[in-house]
Amino acid sequence: MRRALIPIVLLAACYRPARDSCAIACGTNELCPDGYTCSNTFCALGSATCSPNGGEIDAAVDGVPGDMMPDGTPSPDQCDIPNGTPQSDTPFTNVFGRWFVGVFANDFPAAMLGNDGAGLPAIYVQLGQAFNGPFQVAIDSDANAGIKVDAPRLSPNGTEIFFHRVDVTNAVHAISVSVRGSNTDVWSMPTDLMLVGSASDLSLADPSPPTTTDPRHMIISYGAGSYEELVQIGGIASRQWMTIDHVDNPSFGVQWSGQASLTADAKFLVFRGNSGGLNGAFYVARQPDGHFGGTAQPLLGTTSSVNEPYLAPDCHHLFYSDNTPPFQVHMVTYP
C-alpha cells in the first residue's frame, strides 16, 4: 500500500533551490526537488511521466572507477537487464561476507561486511585485486563507543560507502556515509544522512548503492515490510536525501524479502524474493507512472541460498552471498 508523503516544513530553512510546488493531485502540496514535478503522489523527473534517467556521474560502466580516470562528458547509463540463463555462477575463492557489492570494472572495487579481530561487524573494502583480496578494514565497529556497523553499500565509483550505523548506547539508528580520497585507501569519519520525508523505523533500514543518474537515487529497504525510494537533493556532495516514494507490503507476484537496490540507470528494482519457499534474486521494471510494478522476473535459477543480490552497473554481473555461514560470495555472469 502506498501512502502520500507528509511535507517537512523545516526543509525550507536548509535548502532553497527553485522547486515545483505540487498541486492538489499530490494530496499534500509537497515540495519537489529541482527538475522534478508532481505526478499523483510522488515527484517525478521532467515531464512527470518519465522514469529517472539523466547523466552519468561516475565511471561505473566504462571500465575504470571514477577517481582513477576522468569520465568525460556525462552520458546516460542504460541497463540491458539480463534475459535468459546465466552463463556462469562462480563462488569466489576465500571471499566470504554479507552485503557484498562489487563494481565490475578493470579495478574491481568491492565492499562487504565481516567480523573484525574482536568478533564485531566491520566493513571491508578491496580495490584493484579482482575480488581475490586482500580486503582491508575500512570502517570498524567501536565497542567502547557502543557503535556497530551493518549493510555496507559501495558507490559505483568506489569512493563512498553507505551503511547502517547503530549507536547501541543511545539506541540511535542512522544511514551513514564514509568517503575516501582519490587514489587512496583512507576513509573519512562517517557522517549521517539527512532523510527528508522519511517516517520509517531506521532500526530496520538497509541502504542500497546510489545510482549513476543525476540526481542520484537510492532504495532503503525496511526488512520484509516496505521500501522507500530516495533522491539526493543539493548536489553530489550533499547529505540530504528526500523520499519520493514509500511502498508498504510490496506485491510483485513473489514474497518480498527486502535487500533491494536499483540498477545504475534507476529503471529496475532488484530484490530478494521468496517463491515456493526458496529465496532468489528478482527484478521489476519502473512503470510509466514512475512507480515499480508488474510481475517479478527471476535473475537466477532455483536456489535456496541467495542473500543481498546486487546487479553490477554493467547489468551483466550479479553478486550474492550464501544464506548460511561463512556466507560464500558468488558472481553470476550473463551472456
CATH of the domain at 127: 2.115.10
32, part of any domain: yes
Query: What integer is the mean pLDDT of 15-34?
Result: 34
Neighbours of 181 (CB within 10 A): 11
The percent of residues above 70 in pLDDT, for the chain, comes to 73
Query: What integer is the mean pLDDT of 111-115?
Result: 87
Lowest mean pLDDT among 53-67, 87-101, 295-309: 53-67
Does the pLDDT value for residue 51 go beyond 80? no
Check residue 325 and give its pLDDT.
82
92, part of any domain: yes
Higher pLDDT, 80 or 37: 80
277, part of any domain: yes
Domains of the chain: total: 1
How far is CA 51 from each of CA 231, 265, 288, rounded to the nearest angstrom?
13, 9, 7
63, part of any domain: yes
205, part of any domain: yes
Check residue 213 and give its pLDDT.
86
pTM over the 0.95 mark: no
Give 41's DSSP letter. Answer: T
Check residue 109 and give its pLDDT.
78
2, part of any domain: no
Residue 196: all three cell numbers together: 527528508
CA 246 distance to own-chain centroid: 15
Residues 6+ apart with CB under 8 A from 43: 20, 22, 30, 32, 33, 36, 37, 231, 242, 244
234, part of any domain: yes
> Which of 168-177, 178-187, 303-312 reaches the highest mean pLDDT?
168-177
**Distance, CA of 165 to CA of 143 (rounded, Å):** 13
Does the pLDDT value for residue 4 go beyond 60? no
Higher pLDDT, 305 or 60: 305
290, part of any domain: yes
78 confidence band (pLDDT: 50, 70, 90): low
b (16+ CB within 10 A) / e for 39-65: bebbbbbeebeebbbbebbbbbbbebb
Angle at 244 between CA 196 and CA 215, to 5 degrees: 85
Q: What is the mean pLDDT of the chain?
A: 75
Q: The domain containing residue 103 runs over which residues? A: 11-333
Does the pLDDT value for residue 284 go beyond 60? yes
